[in-house]
Structure 1
Amino acid sequence: MKKRDKSNKSSVLGKLLRPIISIIVLTALVLGIALFVKEISTMSYKRVISITAPLLAKVGLSSDKAGEVAGEFIKRASDTDINIGNIIKDTSDPIKNSKSAVTVAIFSDPHSDNLDLLKAISKTKDLSVDAIFHLGDHTDLGVITKLEEAKKILDESDLKYYTIPGDHDLWQSVGVGNFAQVFGDNFHSITLKGVKFVMLDNSANYTVIDAKLTAWFTEEVKNADFVLLSQPLYHPTFNRIMGVVDGEDVIKVKDQALEILNLIRQSKVKAIIAGDQHGSSISIDTQRSTLSHIVIGAITSERNLQSPRFSVLRVYADGNYKIEDIVL
């Protein structure tokens, strides 16, 4: 009789514990999947393959074939509007840093899509930003009237803004002439609440930056926190960066891009932020792991690899920062 009572008690206890254990296991599984997806979405396909190669070999799948699958998976993950694609970089401690010291909006590539530019400004006003940094390609062809339209919209926003040209803004004047006539300087050094931002125009695809401007940049970058450019200096997979146009090297410009990158690597700059590629991304520098290469998505709804967007950068009192996409 005692044995039966003991058996019944064990059976009841097992029934009570079983759903609790199931919930714990299921929760751990869901969290594991979420962390895996978040981590893999930030990897290059080469990194994914290097990790999974031993397992792939056991199931008879070649690295080449796996690379195609991994590349497509990562591309689709980065093209979505879910959080793993929207958070570009987060180095902040949300507990320690409940309030940002500096908040800026970063615009790029409206290409005279003034409707979406107005949407971006409207969303920016809700973010209590200290300034807007615009990385260029205000227009398609750099026509004066189109540049003036873009400036009028920015001026009427009553938000402080700084801008440099993109390569499309140079087209009609075959250089910075039209942009300078409308917007003024094509370079800026701005310090907001102790955080220094340096904006450099590197938009010309086939012409090097002149000596006067490079000398200015060499001095300004020494104590900068962030560098903002018209186009990236580095990207692991995209074939359009400074000195490379649609896969073709422009030797003198490419050499200068490397010189600029080396200057930045020797500084304490946390991130290089650029536009032009019409798709937001983040890459870690190949030589300094504390340096990030960030690309801002395009505001225009045309010729866009993603849905129209801009970014907001929050820099915290301890020097950490967070940058995320704001989808229009």
Structure 2
Amino acid sequence: VISCGSAGCLFILFAFLIILFFANNIKDRIVTRNSHLQPQSKAILTKIMLISDSESDWEYLEKSLNEAKTYNINNVIHLGDITQLGTPDDLSKAKAIFEESELNVYSVPGDRDLWKSKGIEGYLGGLGSNYGMINIDGLNFLLIDNSDEYEGINDVQWQYIVQNISNADFVILHNPIYFDLSLFGGKGMGEYSVEVKGQRERLLSLVRESNVKAVFGGDRHLFGEFADEGRKGLFHYVIGSTNSSRNLQSPNFSILTIYTDGDYYVENVVI
């Protein structure tokens, strides 16, 4: 029989509860962090290809779109930096490639798409709308233009985001709004501007307060998944680059598989 004073027993009980708390917390992080990177044996509702940071590498952009057909995918979303410098010729070339693919291709601009295209006007003239809500097989994707790294999101788009985020299932943008500081530091939205950093924090709060399941960004040229520590069940993904030369990985894209029960699976595919 083991006996202890009241103070000693209380200390032992307190220590046990602390250990139990951290053990459960660690277990939860292990279980949930990569929970959407493994396929599930469930009925599939739809599949969508996600590509990013092509940067005028037309060969690999076309290869990616051709791969979509092998997966029987009809809908593609490009997450920006479609071109290297945003020249009118490159924007026109991208539009032609999208149209020739005969796929439903949606896109948001990246910062490179603004460089020599007179700001967003060149993108609008070459590729169309820079933000909005698209519906694919009953799912709502909120496309956000956060490509301007110094001015950020204008008031008109902010109003649109606030009015529509409650109806969104997924969010698509170019500059990530959630950072793994150990790996990327502050690379993403707000990297160069205190004001835009404040916008990033506001946008992240709106996402956390909504029913959005996942946010997809690009820019980093390195695929990754990040569990949001501010809201359990919310995940952030960085889609890798299809560029064959300026890349931290081999050229790659991702396939978002959404199941009929609302669950989803993100697969990274090397071209």
TM-score w.r.t. the length of structure 2 is: 0.84
Q: Percent identity?
A: 37
2:195 is equivalent to residue 252 of structure 1 = yes
For 1:141-180, list aligned pairs within 5 A.
141-180=85-124
Displacement after TM superposition at 1:294 (Å): 0.3
Q: Which amino acid aligns with 1:265?
A: R
Of 207, 211, 227, which residue of structure 2 is paired with 1:268? Answer: 211
Displacement after TM superposition at 1:88 (Å): 8.4
User: Which of structure 1's runs of 4+ aligned residues deviate more than 4 A?
Assistant: none
Displacement after TM superposition at 1:240 (Å): 1.3
Displacement after TM superposition at 1:109 (Å): 0.6
Partner of 1:312: 255
What is the alpha-carbon root mean square deviation over aligned residues? 1.9
2:190 is equivalent to residue 243 of structure 1 = yes
- The 8 Å contact of residues 256 and 264 in structure 2, kept in 1 or not, is answered as yes
Displacement after TM superposition at 1:91 (Å): 6.9
Aligned to 1:190, the other structure's residue is in SS state: strand
Higher share in helix: 1
Partner of 1:185: 129
1:33-80: CA deviation from partner (whole Å, max 9, x where unpaired): xxxxxxxxxxxxxxxxxx8xxxxxxxxxxxxxxxxxxxxxxxxxxxxx
Displacement after TM superposition at 1:208 (Å): 2.1
2:50 is equivalent to residue 103 of structure 1 = no
Aligned to 2:77, the other structure's residue is in SS state: strand
For 1:3-14, list aligned pairs within 5 A.
none
Higher mean C-alpha displacement, 123-132 vs 274-283: 123-132
- The 8 Å contact of residues 88 and 117 in structure 2, kept in 1 or not, is answered as no
Of 234, 242, 258, which residue of structure 2 is paired with 1:291? Answer: 234
Q: Distance in 1 between matches of 2:164 and 2:77?
A: 17
Report the count of equivalent residues. Answer: 238
- The 8 Å contact of residues 92 and 316 in structure 1, kept in 2 or not, is answered as no
- The 8 Å contact of residues 208 and 231 in structure 2, kept in 1 or not, is answered as yes
Consecutive unaligned residues of structure 1, counting only runs of 5 or more, are 1-50, 52-86
Consecutive unaligned residues of structure 2, counting only runs of 5 or more, are 1-25, 27-33
Q: Larger RCO: Structure 1 or Structure 2 (Cα < 8 Å, ≥ 6 residues apart)?
A: 2
Q: Which amino acid aligns with 1:310?
A: F
Q: Distance in 1 between matches of 2:111 and 2:35?
A: 24
- The 8 Å contact of residues 88 and 323 in structure 1, kept in 2 or not, is answered as no
Q: Distance in 1 between matches of 2:213 and 2:236?
A: 9
Q: Distance in 2 between matches of 1:264 and 1:91?
A: 24
- The 8 Å contact of residues 104 and 132 in structure 1, kept in 2 or not, is answered as yes
For 1:1-328, list aligned pairs within 5 A.
89-90=36-37, 93-94=40-41, 97=42, 99-237=43-181, 238=184, 239-245=186-192, 250-328=193-271
TM-score w.r.t. the length of structure 1 is: 0.70
Displacement after TM superposition at 1:140 (Å): 1.2
Q: Distance in 1 between matches of 2:104 and 2:40?
A: 28
Displacement after TM superposition at 1:138 (Å): 1.1
Q: Which amino acid aligns with 1:324?
A: E
